[in-house]
Amino acid sequence: MPDWIPDVLGDEFEQLTLGLTDDDEGAVVATLVRALPHERAWWDRLRGRDDPLADVDVLYVHGWSDYFFQKRLARFWTARGARFFALDLRKYGRSLRDGQTPGYVTDLTTYDEDIAAALIAMGRGKDGAASGRRLVLLGHSTGGLTLSLWASRHPQAADAVILNSPWLEFQLASARPLLAPVAELQARWAPREVAPQVDLGFYTRAQHEVADPDDPVDVNLAWRPAQTMAVHAGWFHAILTGHAAVAAGLSIPAPVCVLLSTRSATPTRWSEDLTRADSVLVVDDIARAAMKLGSSVTVERIDGALHDVFLSHHEAREDAYARLDRWVRGWSAAG
């Protein structure tokens, strides 16, 4: 296996390239990023100040047209003693290679190989359960959908699932059953057909508008463009299939925490309202869909949050971290 090398994020971050099975575009890889907790000073250990999450591994998966870059989110976990890992899936971010179609898959179960490779590199075995350490799955948007489906298919793997604005339902939920047959035909006969670009870049602009100089975030626009990557018919069908599975009901046995904005805003034209709402998903539909994930689901609605709640304006971002901390402390104590 290749060695861990310094990551583009610098500081305490390292990355590992994970070789995967070649596809019709050639060699395929995923990339695992890690940040490990600092060892406690001897006087803290002598005083019995244990790290509450010292037996926890976190695996983060990003959303569509995205990659991992959130240093503060990683440090939230490592400050509490957890080992933090983030996976840039095949054909995204650090894993995108020349000649590849960014983000393109035709079945979300394709990512089972990426996740298995990450878990093996984390020392957990391909199904994640071969470890005495607890596993927390942490997914944003499409990554939240992918991890929810994976956790339901691997019921013994995760000890907790945390979802940041997961894409659990299509934006026009009532239209999904009508769109699905058409999407299936397109995926079968023209899987690489590209849909018209509807993203005007307002979500990216909203993040810039609310950026906090005291909590800076640097983004590589080649890996996370201002407008989303091209949407292909095969990928779109895979997403609708995932939504249908959620609507039918999943069986995640682990407790689930879903973090969402309190409201949505339609990004047809720019307004300041877009800096205090989710302009990507219909959050009320997501909240309803979340109830289908398993038997223990907590939904946290955060006033003024963006689609990525941890990139919101200062007050909403701090609220998101406070709610995450409260839920994690309760989960950890119960465990």
Q: Cβ neighbours of residue 174 under 8 Å, at least 6 residues apart?
A: none
What is the C-alpha R_g of the chain?
19
Structure letter (DSSP) for residue 195:
P
Within the chain, strands assigned E span 5-6, 14-23, 26-35, 56-61, 83-88, 134-140, 160-164, 256-261, 297-302
Residue 66 has what pLDDT? 98
3-state secondary structure at position 297: strand
3-state secondary structure at position 140: strand
Structure letter (DSSP) for residue 18:
E
pLDDT of 48 > 60? The answer is no
pLDDT tens, position by position, 78-88: 999 999 999 99
Nearest C-alpha neighbor of 250 from the set 307, 73, 258: 258
Percent of the chain with pLDDT over 90: 87
pLDDT of 313 > 90? The answer is yes
Q: Cβ neighbours of residue 48 under 8 Å, at least 6 residues apart?
A: none
Which residue in this structure is represented by tokens 């901390």?
325
pLDDT tens, position by position, 232-271: 999 999 999 999 999 999 999 999 999 999 999 999 999 9
Residue 40 has what pLDDT? 63
What CATH number did the domain enclosing 315 receive?
3.40.50.1820
pLDDT tens, position by position, 321-331: 999 999 999 99
Residue 49 has what pLDDT? 59
pLDDT of 333 > 70? The answer is yes
The predicted model gives 44-72 an average pLDDT of 87
Residue 189 has what pLDDT? 95
pLDDT of 44 > 70? The answer is no
Least confident piece of the model among 38-52, 93-107, 150-164, 172-186: 38-52
Residue 288 has what pLDDT? 98
Residue 1 has what pLDDT? 61
Note the residue count of the chain.
335
Residue 259 has what pLDDT? 99
Neighbours of 8 (CB within 10 A): 14
Nearest C-alpha neighbor of 240 from the set 163, 299, 186: 186
Residues 297 and 152 sit within 8 Å (Cβ to Cβ): no
Q: Give the pTM.
A: 0.96
How many structural domains compose the chain?
1
Residue 12 has what pLDDT? 96
Residues 88 and 140 sit within 8 Å (Cβ to Cβ): no
Domain that holds residue 306: 5-334
3-state secondary structure at position 139: strand
